[in-house]
Structure 1
Amino acid sequence: MTKPTTIAVIGAGLGGAAAARLLQKAGYATKVFEQAPAFSRLGAGIQLGPNVMKVAAVMGIEEQANAIGCHPDFWFSRDAVTGEYLSRIPLGKSAVERFGNSYITIHRGDLHQLIIDTLDPDTLHFGKTLVDIEQTPDEVILHFADGTTDRATHVIGGDGIDSKLREKLLGPEEPTYSGWVAHRALIRGEDLKKYDLEFEDCVKWWSKDTHDESVDRHMMVYNTKADRSEYYYVTGVPEPAWNHGTSHVKSSPAEMREAFHDYHPIVQALVDETKEVTKWPLYERKPQAVWHQDRVVLLGDACHPMRPHMAQGAGMAIEDAAMLVRCLDEVGAADYQQAYELYRLNRFERTSRVQKVSHNNTWLRHDEDPSWVYGYDVFNVPLQQPGKCAA
């Protein structure tokens, strides 16, 4: 039964799409507005911890994601030069037993497609770039770049780090360039078979721990498919400034060789088999206290963008979506201000901690207990009630 409210989700990325799926599943009339002209399979990998797979189960995509994705038995951290193992974090069956769900690595586009396919197609609108909103006592009027308007009783901002809704709530403010870039590339598994080397399912190669960011760098590598036909890497490399004026640029194997010239032969093989590679600036913001105003509420990168060094950025957005819907059901959409504040209170501390650890780039470099991340269950964690400040 449809509940007496209409919710507009701005942005159909992973966080926005997850929010729309969970809202529609809970019975809320929901429509989604995405600025891209159509869905596309973006060329990047993503890691889904058990904390995120618990949400995937409720969204109804867990079985498909498990079938498509790779299930690494370990997260390995290795010294970039010697190949020495710095940590072995058990995943595989151990993750299911300890944390209640699997740990998978998958192509981001494949995961995104699974979520998009669960949505009512009549509610998904592409080519809609939000340019302004008007809030009235009863609704929000949405203005799009194509000259059209729409209306909703509530609006969720899943529109990323350059969120127009965040700007409307807090004013214009550029995110902070971190001084790091990420190179991203996909390699055919078939092309690696000629090497007498072991290309592990999930491994991060770390440079020497000098505490000097100017010389530090890393490469995270994992399979994105169950049949191991696609191998993906993403790097973190210092770059003093980003002056390209675009979201990413083409890189080259030559640039990769320069950045990782002294790395282990396994990394050299990956660079040698790189056909196409892109380079992306890494942006972040400090934790912000304001997540909502009147009928508008933010989630994911719109309110807590972070470096990808914990592989939890999308995970936090998906958790946000689940907690937001939980709080709307807990309080009732009619009392949306209380619901939004309950949501913020129950997400602020966790997302801020993940932002900090991601910024420091220390996650799983050495053996540690990842339970506080992977063991989290957004649907069953006790709710902190208003009156206890989380900011």
Structure 2
Amino acid sequence: MDRATRIAIVGAGIAGLTAAGLLQQQGYGVTVFEQAENFSRIGAGIILGASTAKVMRRLGIEDVMVRTGIKPDAFVSRDVASGAVLNEFVFDAVAERRFGGPFVNIHRADLHRLLVSRLKPGSIRFEHHLAGLDETGDGVRLTFVNGARVEADLVIGADGIRSVVREAIVGRATPRYVGKVALRAVFPASRAVGVPIRDCTKWWGEERHLLSYFMTERRDECYVMAAVPSDAWHADSPPGPGSREDFLAAFPTAHPDLRALLEATDNVSLLPICDRVRNDVWSAGRAVLMGDACHAVRPFMAAGGSMAIEDAAILARAIAACNSPEQAFHVYAASRIPRVGDVQRISAENSWMKLPGDTSWFFGYDPFSDALDQAA
């Protein structure tokens, strides 16, 4: 498409910012509309594999991302009750060469800041909560809650699991509560002195699990996230405060190593875990979806962020390679749907890396070498 194409991205999360950076790099005029008043250090950690490192490399922030976060020594799976090691996947130089990039744990806010640094000044408009879209024949009119109206040639919906752009494409539907609640905590590692904590460990129990990891090379801040069954929540339940006792009650048979970690938790929050029924309609006319807006996945494979970043790479390539939004969106969806479908299925199974198995299809993927012409 012509570089004069006006591109509006709704949502300044990881998906939207990655797409904006890649498109601006190719010479497109891109504006990102964000409903928040500003950015703040909220959220928690994110695990990124080698496929996403290749995207950060293209944006020129791979090295600083590594320095800001941590390259974990391994991903370790352990049994909740016995503490037995079920799997240890080493992330060393050999693995980096094999998959074509490093593995990084990082705070989402730090990654967000790095992505913002790659955008042209003035690219983000805050306090723009999308109210609706209208096709105008040769473009799209975006209407915002604050009364603003914007014309664009194409719109990218990167506005999350409750996407307004998604509603315009496939209709309104409530996200699906999966029957589990997430307990999350970010706390200083000094609270866990003497506790044997590896760089990245997943504890597997009956109908529940817990993931813990460091987010910087200093190993001074821990992130812990558990998923446990609960009938007391639903898709519209707001996040709320939790406590150390919630963690301890969720894992009554915890191995001493795990129990010591749980006793160190602080700053706990609770929120429902939701996804959406798979729907492979990702675009309509001049509007397209990416990330959680079109394929929200359960956070059991630590792959949601990776899928959104890969989406951005494929979508940016498709826009540059095709003559119209409709053709670009077709190429993008045809390329992404099979891979994302596999990730949605495996995430729902909650089986990823519990035991040794093939990981090359996931970590070794390169979104810049995927054959877009074959996908079309």
TM-score past 0.5 threshold: yes
Partner of 2:19: 19
Counterpart of 1:181, as a letter, is: V
What's the secondary structure of 2:167's corresponding residue?
helix
RMSD of aligned residue pairs (Cα, Å): 1.4
Counterpart of 1:18, as a letter, is: T
Structure 2 counterparts to residues 73-84 of structure 1, below 5 A: 73-84=73-84
Counterpart of 1:285, as a letter, is: R
1:377 aligns to 2:375 (yes or no): no
Cα distance in 1, alignment partners of residues 268 and 27 from structure 2: 42
1:246/1:116 CA distance change after superposition, 3 Å: farther
Counterpart of 2:274, as a letter, is: Y
Cα distance in 1, alignment partners of residues 280 and 266 from structure 2: 43
1:284 aligns to 2:282 (yes or no): no
Partner of 1:201: 199
Cα distance in 2, alignment partners of residues 257 and 386 from structure 1: 48
TM-aligned CA deviation for residue 191 of structure 1 = 2.1
Cα distance in 1, alignment partners of residues 85 and 79 from structure 2: 6
Partner of 1:350: 339
Structure 2 counterparts to residues 39-50 of structure 1, below 5 A: 39-50=39-50
TM-aligned CA deviation for residue 281 of structure 1 = 1.0
Q: Which runs of 5+ in 1 are unaligned?
A: 209-215
What's the secondary structure of 1:314's corresponding residue?
helix
TM-aligned CA deviation for residue 49 of structure 1 = 0.2
Cα distance in 2, alignment partners of residues 271 and 221 from structure 1: 10
Provide, for residues 91-140 of structure 1, a one-character-per-residue CA deviation record: whole Å limited to 9, x for no partner.
13232121010001111111111101211231211111000111111111
Partner of 2:101: 101
Structure 2 counterparts to residues 226-241 of structure 1, below 5 A: 226-241=217-232
1:327 aligns to 2:325 (yes or no): no
Provide, for residues 22-63 of structure 1, a one-character-per-residue CA deviation record: whole Å limited to 9, x for no partner.
111111000000011101111300001001111111111101
What's the secondary structure of 1:82's corresponding residue?
coil
TM-aligned CA deviation for residue 266 of structure 1 = 2.1
Kindly indicate whether the alpha-carbon contact (under 8 Å) linking 2:237 and 2:272 is maintained by their aligned counterparts in 1.
Answer: no
Partner of 2:216: 225
Kindly indicate whether the alpha-carbon contact (under 8 Å) linking 1:75 and 1:203 is maintained by their aligned counterparts in 2.
Answer: yes
Counterpart of 1:346, as a letter, is: S
Percentage of pairs with the same residue: 40
Cα distance in 2, alignment partners of residues 254 and 289 from structure 1: 41
Partner of 1:211: none
* Number of residue pairs matched by the alignment: 375
1:244/1:336 CA distance change after superposition, 3 Å: closer
Partner of 2:111: 111
Counterpart of 2:133, as a letter, is: I
Counterpart of 1:365, as a letter, is: K
1:310 aligns to 2:298 (yes or no): no
1:191 aligns to 2:180 (yes or no): no
Provide, for residues 194-217 of structure 1, a one-character-per-residue CA deviation record: whole Å limited to 9, x for no partner.
x2x421001100114xxxxxxx11
Cα distance in 2, alignment partners of residues 185 and 264 from structure 1: 19
Partner of 1:157: 157
Provide, for residues 303-329 of structure 1, a one-character-per-residue CA deviation record: whole Å limited to 9, x for no partner.
000101111101101100110011111
What's the secondary structure of 2:142's corresponding residue?
strand
Kindly indicate whether the alpha-carbon contact (under 8 Å) linking 1:187 and 1:230 is maintained by their aligned counterparts in 2.
Answer: yes
Cα distance in 1, alignment partners of residues 292 and 375 from structure 2: 24
Kindly indicate whether the alpha-carbon contact (under 8 Å) linking 1:3 and 1:29 is maintained by their aligned counterparts in 2.
Answer: yes
Q: Which runs of 5+ in 2 are unaligned?
A: none
Cα distance in 1, alignment partners of residues 258 and 12 from structure 2: 34
Cα distance in 2, alignment partners of residues 174 and 245 from structure 1: 8
Cα distance in 1, alignment partners of residues 280 and 356 from structure 2: 33
Counterpart of 1:203, as a letter, is: T
Kindly indicate whether the alpha-carbon contact (under 8 Å) linking 2:157 and 2:288 is maintained by their aligned counterparts in 1.
Answer: yes
Partner of 2:248: 257
Kindly indicate whether the alpha-carbon contact (under 8 Å) linking 2:174 and 2:235 is maintained by their aligned counterparts in 1.
Answer: no
Counterpart of 2:37, as a letter, is: P
Counterpart of 2:190, as a letter, is: E
Counterpart of 1:14, as a letter, is: I
Cα distance in 2, alignment partners of residues 225 and 372 from structure 1: 27
- Structure 2 counterpart of 1:266, from 254, 257, 261: 257
Cα distance in 1, alignment partners of residues 310 and 228 from structure 2: 28
Partner of 2:357: 368
Cα distance in 1, alignment partners of residues 317 and 147 from structure 2: 34
Provide, for residues 214-236 of structure 1, a one-character-per-residue CA deviation record: whole Å limited to 9, x for no partner.
xx111001100011011111111
TM-aligned CA deviation for residue 243 of structure 1 = 4.5
Counterpart of 1:86, as a letter, is: L
TM-aligned CA deviation for residue 89 of structure 1 = 1.1
TM-aligned CA deviation for residue 175 of structure 1 = 1.4
TM-aligned CA deviation for residue 146 of structure 1 = 0.7
Counterpart of 1:182, as a letter, is: A
Cα distance in 2, alignment partners of residues 61 and 82 from structure 1: 41
TM-aligned CA deviation for residue 386 of structure 1 = 5.8
Q: Which shows bigger deviation, 356-365 or 37-46? A: 37-46
Counterpart of 2:253, as a letter, is: D
Cα distance in 2, alignment partners of residues 177 and 142 from structure 1: 30
Partner of 1:213: none
